[in-house]
Amino acid sequence: MDERTREYLTGRFGDYYRRAELTPPPAAGEREWGHIPWTAGSGTTMIRHQSLLDLGDLGSYLAREAPRHVYFSAARYDDPGASTMDAKGWDEADLVFDLDADHLPGVDPEETAYADMLAEGKAALVNLLDFLEDDFAFDHLDVVFSGGRGYHVHVRDESVRELDSEARREIVDYVRAIDLDEDALMETRPNETGTLRDTLRAEGGWGRRVHRRILALADEIEGMDDDEALERLREFDGVGEKTAGNLLTAFRENREALEAGNMEAGGAKRLVKKLLPEVVADETSPIDEPVTTDLRRLIRLPGSLHGGTGLAVRRIPRRSVADFDPLVDAVPDRFTGREITVEAAESATVDLGGETTNISAGENTVRECVGVFLMTRGAAEKATE
């Protein structure tokens, strides 16, 4: 990045912050703050161990510094500005989840288009929220688009803020189904008449997820004639004619037992193991483990700008998650009002703000958000106007 580009971006980021509506986290004064300034060269220097007291008013500080990236700590400290972690005095930390396209299955950061990465990340986010809201029943969730390639979720329920790293790893493993023991999904329980039955532990957890899948399959089968149903059941690896027949009978005649989790009928317990890999693949969420287990992590500030895209780090109201389109909704208004000229290294296509812009190598006059996007990514330099 040349000096003219750097100066331009610094100036425009500053303009953004002068009008930006920042949404600092609760207890901002008990958190550590950090930022990465615009500097020459490829190296980045993080300035951290700062408290809000050191910074003064957050809005004017950001307007003045116009940093490239802005972070705050998930943790709350007695003395957030102390220069060593020990001296800070850790009190508690938000439970933070990070979904980064880098870690998503089916995404190759070199090959996958930016829009497709973001779509994959969104699907993973929806799965994650299902765990957090349904299984964990957390009340205080902040869903945030990271401004880059993924999403963050900050959980601030009091019951989890003091959990240590090991306990947080348990949550990660739960969501990612790590060390899930398929045998532990079943147990022998007495039914209402006291007879011991192989029962799916369907009251919660992964057992409940598999149970739902089995009942969904039963629903699907219900609408089919016998031949069609048998064919559907035989799609499962290792299910032969005989097993399929038994299963069909169980689905048709023993629905109540299935609903109660009793898996004896028709050998339905076989289905548990057959469905599990499918359930895990569809429902797990590939959250980045180190982010969640790190009790002292710095996370991007919602409302700030991502210095690698020029997009805003956006808090997403829960009801808007389904409709959120980062390539439209995270484009800062500040960068949509005018056109600028940039010098691109090579041709490219940029989808932003609902419009597609074709870039050719050399000078291009483009919407500012497109220019900023290319410059922050290192794909273009500012041209003289």
Partner 1 sequence: MRISQRHARYPFFEVARDAVEAAELSLPSLVAEEAPAVERGRERVERALLAGTVESETPREWSAQDELLSYPIARILVSLLDSEAAVRKYAAAEAETAAERIRADVETGDDGLRSTGNDGVSLDEVLAEFDLAETVVAEGSARAGDTPQWFRVGVGAYLDLQDPNWGDDWRLVNRELAEGRVRVEREELYRLLREAVARRVAEGLPFQVRGTDAGDDLADALEEGLDSLRGLLADRGRIGSIDVVVPDLFPPCMTNLVHRAREEVRLAPHEGFALMAFLTGIGMDTDEILAFCDASSLDREGIRYQIRYLRDERGTQYPPPSCETLAAYGLCHNEDEHWKIASHPLVYYKKRLAAADEDSYTDWRDARQAKTDEAGEGVAADDATDEDALGDDGSDADGDGDRDAAAEAEAVAGADPKQDEQS
Residues that bind partner 1 (CB under 8 A): 134-138, 157-160, 162-163, 166-167, 169-171, 173-174, 177-181, 184, 201-208, 237-240, 242-243, 270, 273
Q: How far is the CB of 321 from partner 1 (least distance, A)?
A: 20
Q: How far is the CB of 122 from partner 1 (least distance, A)?
A: 24
Specify the residue, 115 or 167, whose C-beta has the smaller distance to partner 1. Answer: 167
Specify the residue, 170 or 222, whose C-beta has the smaller distance to partner 1. Answer: 170
**226 in active site:** no
**183 in active site:** no
**98 in active site:** yes
Q: Which of 15, 57, 100, 179 is catalytic?
A: 100
Specify the residue, 80 or 266, whose C-beta has the smaller distance to partner 1. Answer: 266
Q: How far is the CB of 244 from partner 1 (least distance, A)?
A: 10
Q: Which of 98, 102, 226, 323 is catalytic?
A: 98
Q: How far apart are CA 210 and CA 277, in angstroms?
A: 10
Specify the residue, 182 or 222, whose C-beta has the smaller distance to partner 1. Answer: 182
Specify the residue, 195 or 356, whose C-beta has the smaller distance to partner 1. Answer: 195
Q: How far is the CB of 207 from partner 1 (least distance, A)?
A: 6
Q: Which of 134, 288, 294, 323 is catalytic?
A: 288
Q: How far is the CB of 184 from partner 1 (least distance, A)?
A: 4
Q: How far apart are CA 309 and CA 146, in angstroms?
A: 10
Specify the residue, 199 or 376, whose C-beta has the smaller distance to partner 1. Answer: 199
Number of residues in the chain = 385
Q: How far apart are CA 344 and CA 296, in angstroms?
A: 39
* Buried b or exposed e, range 17-37, using 16+ CB within 10 angstroms: beebeeebbeebebbbbbbbe
Q: How far is the CB of 161 from partner 1 (least distance, A)?
A: 9
What residues pair up with 14 in beta bridges, in sequence order? none
Active site residues: 98, 100, 288
